[in-house]
Structure 1
Amino acid sequence: MSMIYNALSGAQAAQAALSGASQNIANAMTPGYSRQGVLLSSVQPQRAGTTEAGSGVAVSALLRFSDGYKNLQLWQASANLGQANSTQAYFNQLEQVMSDDTSNINKGLDDFFAALNAASVQPDSGPLREQVLTAADGLVKRFGSLQRLLDNQRNAVIEQRGAALDQINSISRDIALLNAQIAASRGSNINAAGLLDARDLKTDALAALVGVQVVDLPDGTRSVSLKNGQPLVAASDAAQLSQDASGMRLQFANTAFKVLGHGLGGQLGGLDDFEQQLLKPLAQNIAELAQGVAGQFNTQLRAGFQPDGTPGVDLFVYGASGLSLSGIGAGQLAFSSTAAASSAAGDSRNLAALIGLKGQSINLTAFDTAGQALVAPVAVVLGDVYTQLVGRLGVSSQQNQAAQKTAQTVHDQAQENWKSTSGVNSDEEAINLMQFKQMYEANMKVIAVANQLFDSTLAMVG
């Protein structure tokens, strides 16, 4: 009878293995699915005796092939890729606009100084003076256009951050729910492999949005926190992230935390880095350039005199809404350096001083690599300011593109590394099907032989 018991256990083990292989094959194209397999162990003899070979085979466990270290590598790679991918579209838009001759400020400054140079040939010429005002208006419009772009990008970053926070909150709630379901499945002795796969997929999606720290607990639940340690998920509880004018906040249970954007990782970290390290410094430097243009030109104009001998007045106005024209007429441009009306028309020394402002310096706020303003400003020649800002933007964009390529390569490698352990290999599963089919058939053959022997024994006794 031991032959029948042994063969029956072997047939049952083969059935369990065939069931696992069929599940693997059915889910070969399912995203995030981790393959399964049986762990077989021999059963020791139940009776004493040196002739007792054993009591068959047992399915010790149904294994889910998953490597925690490879999972962590994949989630870290997802966070880095999400961070690099989140801002390149903003870089591309800024580069395109700031380097376009039809809208960049350098072209506006060149046109303005060209109009001043043209007016120096005949300072009292009405059309040439009108050309100066037209060029000044063009320069103002270029500043306004760029300022609107920077404002639009800042608003887009805020909206994208808000959408990311909503996704993070939703995924965190899903992970918390899966934690509860996995714990309940373990208590009911139900295979939770599908729930574990779903939770890993959710964790990977969460990591792409914000860098996370993950700890799997003995009861099957998972603790997820931000890189700074602030909790997102603990057992069946999930945090709630939000943003307001003062920044991001995290509410967990009855505790509220302020979340610093720097170093978050993922899409949130990329957006914060772009906003703090490039967008805000660039907007401030552009504003300082506009203020510098207005201040230097207005100061020089007030030092001169109009053709009728009256003191010069401001051409530009700089305020909270940006740079604009004061509304003076062409005849009010103070190109002369003398108050005598009889000689003012032919005196263009103040105009020469205005033209010379292109070589004068203005003070710009300097920033460190984290986007923090330094105490000491930097003096930059007026004609070189915009070129330097465009150059800084280009370097930052190239660095982000390089980070994108590197992050994509690392993510692809981490994905393949994950698949080497958890992915389904169709050829391997086909071999398993054949092997366990043969195992099943062999055990059934043993049962048939055992029955024949038993019948023969009964015939001999009868």
Structure 2
Amino acid sequence: MGGGLNAALNSGRTSLQTNQKAIEITGLNVANVNTEGYSRQTPNLTPYPALNFGDFFFGTGVTVGSVGRSHDVFLDGQIKDKSAEAGLENSMVNPLAELERVFGIGDGSLSDEFNQFFDSVRQLSTNPGGEVERQMVLQRGELIGNAFTNVYNETQQVVTNINNTIVSKIDGVNLAIDEIAQLNNRISAIEKMGQEANSDRDRRDLLLKGVAEAIGARSFETSVGTVSVQLPNGMPLVEGDKATHIEAVYNGTDVNLELDFGTTNIALDRSALGGEFRGLYEVRDVMIPDVVGRLDQLAYTFATEVNTLHQAGTDLNGDPGQDFFVQPAAVEGASSSLAMNITTTDEIAAGSSAAPGDNTNVLSLLQLEQEQTLGNDTFVSYYGKIVSTVGVEAARNRQAQEGFEDSLIQLENMRDGIDGVSLEDEMINLMKYQKGFEASAKFLATVDEMMGTLLTLKR
């Protein structure tokens, strides 16, 4: 009889302790309801082994066998993939918005400068000997050269900003992969001892999402609880407790990335990257060189065409016309330093050799405004296509960014619904475990009373 009551006391004691532990776990869930990346924890209750008492087997209590962590592997993978896609588009938003500003078509834009330049040439054609009109042509020529240079310089400033952004993000990525390697080591050691590393796994998943967003890193879990992290091209970032750092390498003002393996470094081009870094590389190494190449072509053709026609005329001194602009040596770099060659008003070759003061040559220059000197395009329409290229890409980027952000929010909401904390559910659990705790206490009091009665009978 005493043995049975002792077993009952043990059952009551373990039930009391177990319900108390379950209440603590519920409290932990409630406390972390707003913690990013936190996964709901659940006590898994298991009975103690039954013992033989005479002809019967009696249970001896209950324990928290383990603390489960709610985790949907498929959903977690989808969130990481979508984070990488959203990161790529997010990183392009500011550089593309800046390029849209640089390649504008309003007042003060390069398109406006073309119109102003040819307007000054038109005014000169009505009064070819006028000092004011000649001064205006010189001024507008200098201003359009400055406009080309300003647009070029501002595109290079965007490149500088992108390089600075890349450098500023590298340390964060390296710190994250270092921490992932440390967590791998800790999680593996804890779980080998049969314990749970739920909080460490939450932290690791949050870091993995971050490196997926930043650099498109992919990850997969091994059989021993560690994760391997790789770049999109398969190069390793984390293997077990070993992390491989990404280093910034300067080439002039440009910044490129390399994987540092200690004895050797491997260069990373944009195809090796994903996420924010891929987006920054796309703008810096694809978009900007394309538009600058076309800007150079526009500057070179404009200067060459104007110079050719200007040389065909005669200035006010009766001398053959010189180059109007300093002739660019090549297409590449033409937009970066378009400058005036003539410096005085009498050097403007407006007339012909027969009549240096007439408007014969100015009329030829004026026709350049409407001529298709660049394939099927005039100077202004060619510039308009550059503007359109930037605008279309910026619009595509904004639409894609919004789409990926919406998808990511939906996935995060699904994850919160499946793996996150529901206050309603936790309140129900709290009442359930509280009732269990109260019943256990009542059960212990009853057994204690029975034992007291038994001892009284023996006396």
**Same fold? TM cut 0.5:** yes
Q: 1:281 to 1:362 in 2, by over 3 A?
A: farther
Aligned to 2:131: 126
Aligned to 2:156: 151
Aligned to 1:274: 283
The Cα of 1:45 is off from its aligned counterpart by: 3.0
Residues 262, 273 of structure 1: 8 Å contact kept = no
Residues 164, 267 of structure 1: 8 Å contact kept = no
The Cα of 1:402 is off from its aligned counterpart by: 0.5
Residues of 2 paired with 1:229 and 1:238: CA distance? 14
The equivalent position to 2:340 in structure 1, one of 317, 325, 333, is 325
Asked if 1:353 is matched to 2:353, the reply is no
Residues 323, 342 of structure 2: 8 Å contact kept = no
Question: Match of 2:38, SS?
Answer: coil
What code does the residue aligned with 1:334 have? A
Residues of 1 paired with 2:241 and 2:397: CA distance? 37
Question: Match of 1:37, SS?
Answer: strand
The Cα of 1:449 is off from its aligned counterpart by: 2.4
Aligned to 1:408: 405
Residues of 2 paired with 1:179 and 1:117: CA distance? 74
The Cα of 1:278 is off from its aligned counterpart by: 1.9
CA shift digits 1:35-72 (9 cap, x unpaired) = 21111234453338885364433322111222222222
Residues of 2 paired with 1:103 and 1:180: CA distance? 60
Alignment of 1:46-85 (within 5 A): 46-47=51-52, 51-52=56-57, 54-85=59-90
The Cα of 1:136 is off from its aligned counterpart by: 0.8
Aligned to 1:367: none
Residues of 2 paired with 1:255 and 1:455: CA distance? 79
Alignment of 1:99-114 (within 5 A): 99=104, 101-114=106-119
The Cα of 1:285 is off from its aligned counterpart by: 1.0
CA-based RMSD: 2.3
The equivalent position to 1:164 in structure 2, one of 161, 166, 169, is 169
Aligned to 1:20: 25
Listed as ranges, the gaps of 5+ residues in structure 1 are: 364-377
Residues 105, 111 of structure 2: 8 Å contact kept = no
The equivalent position to 2:353 in structure 1, one of 339, 347, 350, is 339
What code does the residue aligned with 1:39 have? N
What code does the residue aligned with 1:264 have? L
The Cα of 1:396 is off from its aligned counterpart by: 1.0
Identity in percent = 25
What code does the residue aligned with 1:450 have? V
The Cα of 1:362 is off from its aligned counterpart by: 4.2
Aligned to 1:451: 448
Aligned to 1:368: none
Q: 1:157 to 1:182 in 2, by over 3 A?
A: same
The Cα of 1:187 is off from its aligned counterpart by: 4.3
Alignment of 1:56-455 (within 5 A): 56-99=61-104, 101-187=106-192, 191-244=196-249, 245=251, 247-252=256-261, 254-262=263-271, 264-317=273-326, 318=328, 320=333, 321-336=336-351, 338-340=352-354, 343-346=355-358, 348-363=359-374, 380-455=377-452
Residues of 1 paired with 2:54 and 2:424: CA distance? 43
Residues of 1 paired with 2:69 and 2:312: CA distance? 82
Q: 1:359 to 1:263 in 2, by over 3 A?
A: farther
Residues 262, 272 of structure 1: 8 Å contact kept = no
TM-score (norm 2): 0.90
Q: 1:254 to 1:235 in 2, by over 3 A?
A: farther
Residues of 2 paired with 1:119 and 1:219: CA distance? 83
The Cα of 1:94 is off from its aligned counterpart by: 2.6
TM-score (norm 1): 0.89
What code does the residue aligned with 2:349 have? A
Residues of 1 paired with 2:238 and 2:108: CA distance? 48
Residues of 2 paired with 1:8 and 1:180: CA distance? 36
Question: Match of 2:228, SS?
Answer: strand
The Cα of 1:97 is off from its aligned counterpart by: 3.7
Asked if 1:38 is matched to 2:43, the reply is yes
Q: 1:15 to 1:70 in 2, by over 3 A?
A: same
Residues of 1 paired with 2:241 and 2:56: CA distance? 54
The equivalent position to 2:9 in structure 1, one of 4, 24, 39, is 4
CA shift digits 1:126-149 (9 cap, x unpaired) = 221111111111111211211111
What code does the residue aligned with 1:344 have? P
Residues 248, 261 of structure 1: 8 Å contact kept = no
Residues of 1 paired with 2:264 and 2:441: CA distance? 63
Listed as ranges, the gaps of 5+ residues in structure 2 are: none
Residues 270, 281 of structure 2: 8 Å contact kept = yes
